[in-house]
Structure 1
Amino acid sequence: MDNSNLGIIGSEEWCVFEELGIPAIKARVDSGAKTSSIQANNIKVISKGAHEWVRFEVNPLQDNRSINIECLAKLVDRRTVKSSSGISEERYVIKTPVKIGESVFEIELTLANRDTMEYRMLLGREALNDRFMVNSAISYSFKEFSEDEIAEKYASQVKEKTGLKIAILASNPTLYSNKRLMEAGEARGHEMVFLNVEHAYMKLDANSPEIRYRGGNILNEFDAIIPRIKPAVTFYGCALIRQFDNLGVYCLNSAEAITQSRDKLFASQLFSKNDIHIPITGFAKSPMDTKDLIRMVNGAPLIIKLLESTQGKGVVLAETNKAAESVINAFKSVQTNILVQEFIKEANGQDIRCFVVNGRVVASMQRQAEKGEFRANIHQGGKASVVKITAEEKKLALKAAKVLNLAVAGVDIIRSNKGPLLLEVNSSPGLEGIENATGKDIANAMIMAIERKIKFNQ
């Protein structure tokens, strides 16, 4: 075959789809993929005469959900495609002309209905065959658009900045944290809506997935969701978060991250794997192993934690080995999963809560347990005060949040003779104690984090 007439294409190129109304979209050239694909949200199949058409929305610019192009094309096929993660899914296929440089030709595109693609488009080998040779060492061999040129091309798509529509997905609208987030969002010009987790329900359908709210209202206009899921509804709340994510709505914490943080055993294993120091922790199923379990964490006094404990509830101090055996075996006898953890005596009932928002510690406070209590908890009479954390403590807090992939996290640290140790990470940290102790407007920081993530500029 004569390759002398083939153009040279780089590892990434700008593509234009005039029939779809997309003036520029960056594609990764992927000769390992047979068919080209494009990121698409809200995909719906409709009938026009004797033919099926597909209506969908594209966010053509990376890390920018504010530009949303509505597209319509004839449906030419339904095809099972295996993603890069090895998961097979049915995708809709359309045909449309693409312009790369000065070349215009028709290609097939599969509609990828997940918003997880780093590039908004992949250019597969069917589009390359008999047209281009790939030089992976270069980019934009045909045309490179500057940021100003892209801004000009999409100027007509930029909506008037009237604010975002943000939902608090929680259970109690009167809680301090939820009220503060509503106030902070409204103060920045956004429309804030409170959604009760248990009043929302889902339609699972490949063509037209939906979330509805009590009374039948379809929830399809949100830009972002702030999950504040209480432990009792973790399973259902995370299912809703995944559904919002599938619909292209930005969720401040993902369902996967929340689920990981709520499983204290799994989270502890992740921390150990990633060289994050925690108090020595033990876990066993059989009562036959109780004595060695206690020895393993350096004996009494020791802490016994329910795996699903929250806000200090379900955490017990056993002061003697005999007491520890009794409590551990009592929990096991009723099929309750627990962790056993060494007691850090030198902490003297103090710990530190670091509030992390999008890779920054925005505030930190020290909590002192009430007299006679072993664990600091402001929900149970503990006292909070502002504290200056060390560089090592800051690094620990940020790493813990990153390991769990949490954009917002309350990271609890204890100071020990071995240095700072991680106690646990909360995916729905309360705002009242830390805002009152530090004077910081954390609710505002959370709203600003959403604005930055979805490229909304005041």
Structure 2
Amino acid sequence: MTKLLEIGWEEWIALPELKLPAIRAKVDTGAKTSALHAFMVEKIVEDGQTKVHFGIHPIPQRPEVEVYCKAPLVDEREIISSNGQSELRYVIQTVAQFGKKKWPIEITLTDRETMAYRMLIGRSAMKGKLLVVPEKSFTLGALSHSVYDDAPKRHKKSLKICILSTAKHSYTKERLAGVAESRGHKVEVINTLRCYVDISSNKPTIHYQGKPLKRFDTIIPRISESITFYGVAILRQFETLGVFSLNSSAAISHSRDRLLAHQLLGRAGITMPTTAFAHYPGDTKDMIKIVGGTPLVIKLLDGQGQGVVLAETHKAAEAVIQAFRGLRANFIAQEYVKESNSKDIRCIVVGNKVVASVQKTYSEHDLGSAEKLKVVKTTLVEKKLAIKAARVLGLKFAAVNFLRTKEGPILIDVKASPGLRAIELATGLDIATMVIEYLEGHARPRLPKRIIGYHI
């Protein structure tokens, strides 16, 4: 019997036929077929054989490094991702090298731009050849991304940028547009509510004011709370066409759903105030007890920054909860952290970096609107919390709010469409330029998603 080659949960492998000498891959025994990041995918016929030509950014932290590959197309297959989304993907066959051994494997091509690993290794690539040892990693030895130092670099080019916004006059919109245009990019502001889509066509399009929209390189979504459902739907259609978005439709949806956001952040091990969610009126007293009694914070789930109330007594808490239930509004009750003294810290995250931090002071009873902003320095622990919270929700441009306590920072919430006016005025920092610089380094054509449906 042939001895199986042991591998860990993550490994360095090579795909020599694709001119990829080093790829850091994650082993996924839950997936049947391996998956590889790809963009600008084109089906071609060469010498009578159908092939796929595509690009890949092999180093997540260096998007300017691009490698273009070509491989035989063996199938177009329906793949169900971990979130239940069903997608039609191209399947190629190429040789994979694991340490000193190599053999041909099948790989599906998909957009993994926001993922930490450019490749997943599925069961079909491992069958009869590999044995996974989950507690180990890099058992095959170390490779290095330095092998791509001589690879062609993507040169800076003018981008065609779409800003999705319904605001007639907006400091943030005008700042972003102004900075982008000053750096040589073309900017078009599109009213989200004037967009409509053809979702039944084999060639899906987005129409605006009676005409199909031309392709954009990237989108900056400035979707207000009141139109989240429609705005996210329009943004999702742009993504279906392969347009890069500063914040994805899924990330915006997750962050706007306060309950889901708390669940995702809690699952990731991020410390938050004790939170309770209930529907039945008879559970109100126990709900208050779960969060440690009064005072407590009550938050509406359908708005960020609005509908946040501090209830200082049981009577006040029950009255607010009864009022919200009377409006048929969903809400959560949350522990009030007394150490905060009606103050919290806001960090602005762009990409994987905290670019600005301020302390916000609130009025005694209204926790929804800050009265004063003050520049503060944040610790390494606080910065790591802010970056991790944004990453868990998939946001590349976010405002992360947390409280300072003796035990460490406690996360409050994460906002997907932070305004720039107050924080730029308070800090004197040019955050708009930082956002556009991020787009310049990361915006590129994405692999259009051929979504079939969702499986639950």
Under a length normalisation based on structure 1, what TM-score does the superposition of the two structures give? 0.72
2:260 corresponds to 1:271: no
2:173 corresponds to 1:178: yes
Partner of 1:232: 226
Deviations 1:301-338 (A, max 9, x none): 32211112223x21222232112112212222332111
What is the aligned-residue identity percentage? 40
Aligned length: 421
2:375 corresponds to 1:375: no
Q: Distance in 2 between matches of 1:274 and 1:427?
A: 18
SS at match of 2:302: strand
2:442 corresponds to 1:449: no
SS at match of 2:247: coil
Shift of 1:40: 6.3
Distance 1:69-1:341 versus aligned 2 partners, 3 A rule:
closer
Aligned amino acid, residue 274 of structure 1 = A
The match for 2:346 among 345, 353, 361 is 353
The match for 1:295 among 289, 297, 300 is 289
Greater Cα radius of gyration, structure 1 or 2: 1
Shift of 1:35: 9.0
Under a length normalisation based on structure 2, what TM-score does the superposition of the two structures give? 0.72
Q: Is the 8 A contact 1:356 1:408 kept in 2?
A: yes
Q: Is the 8 A contact 1:351 1:376 kept in 2?
A: no
Partner of 2:336: 343
Distance 1:139-1:308 versus aligned 2 partners, 3 A rule:
same
Shift of 1:266: 1.8
Shift of 1:14: 5.1
Unaligned runs of 5+ in 1: 1-9, 18-22, 101-106, 127-132
Partner of 1:7: none
- Aligned positions of 1:181-330 closer than 5 A: 181-204=176-199, 207-222=202-217, 224-311=218-305, 313-330=306-323
Q: Distance in 2 between matches of 1:273 and 1:37?
A: 25
Q: Is the 8 A contact 1:15 1:27 kept in 2?
A: no
Q: Is the 8 A contact 2:398 2:418 kept in 1?
A: yes
Shift of 1:365: 0.9
Shift of 1:360: 1.5
Q: Distance in 1 between matches of 2:123 and 2:351?
A: 34
Distance 1:298-1:67 versus aligned 2 partners, 3 A rule:
closer
SS at match of 2:303: strand
Q: Is the 8 A contact 1:42 1:208 kept in 2?
A: no
Q: Distance in 2 between matches of 1:207 and 1:54?
A: 22
Q: Distance in 1 between matches of 2:63 and 2:439?
A: 11
Q: Is the 8 A contact 2:294 2:311 kept in 1?
A: yes
SS at match of 2:299: strand
Partner of 2:409: 420
Shift of 1:407: 1.4
Q: Distance in 2 between matches of 1:451 and 1:147?
A: 21
Deviations 1:270-293 (A, max 9, x none): 333333222222211111011122
SS at match of 1:181: helix
Q: Distance in 1 between matches of 2:32 and 2:261?
A: 39
Q: Is the 8 A contact 1:301 1:317 kept in 2?
A: yes
Unaligned runs of 5+ in 2: 1-10, 98-103, 131-137, 446-456
Partner of 1:147: 148
Shift of 1:431: 0.8
Q: Is the 8 A contact 1:59 1:65 kept in 2?
A: no
Q: Distance in 2 between matches of 1:36 and 1:293?
A: 45
Deviations 1:396-434 (A, max 9, x none): 322322222221111112234554322211111111111
Shift of 1:227: 1.7
Shift of 1:249: 2.2
Deviations 1:5-45 (A, max 9, x none): xxxxx98545668xxxxx88988999x99999886667799
Shift of 1:138: 6.8
Shift of 1:391: 3.5
Q: Distance in 1 between matches of 2:318 and 2:81?
A: 50
Aligned amino acid, residue 389 of structure 1 = T
Distance 1:299-1:121 versus aligned 2 partners, 3 A rule:
closer
Aligned amino acid, residue 440 of structure 1 = L
Distance 1:159-1:411 versus aligned 2 partners, 3 A rule:
closer
Superposition CA RMSD, Å: 4.8
The match for 1:395 among 360, 384, 405 is 384
Higher RCO (CA-CA < 8 Å; seq separation 6+): 2
Partner of 1:438: 427
Partner of 1:386: 375
Aligned amino acid, residue 230 of structure 1 = S
The match for 2:356 among 345, 348, 363 is 363
Shift of 1:93: 7.3
Mean CA deviation greater in 206-215 or 177-186: 206-215
Q: Distance in 2 between matches of 1:394 and 1:110?
A: 37
Q: Distance in 2 between matches of 1:25 and 1:208?
A: 36
Distance 1:86-1:337 versus aligned 2 partners, 3 A rule:
closer
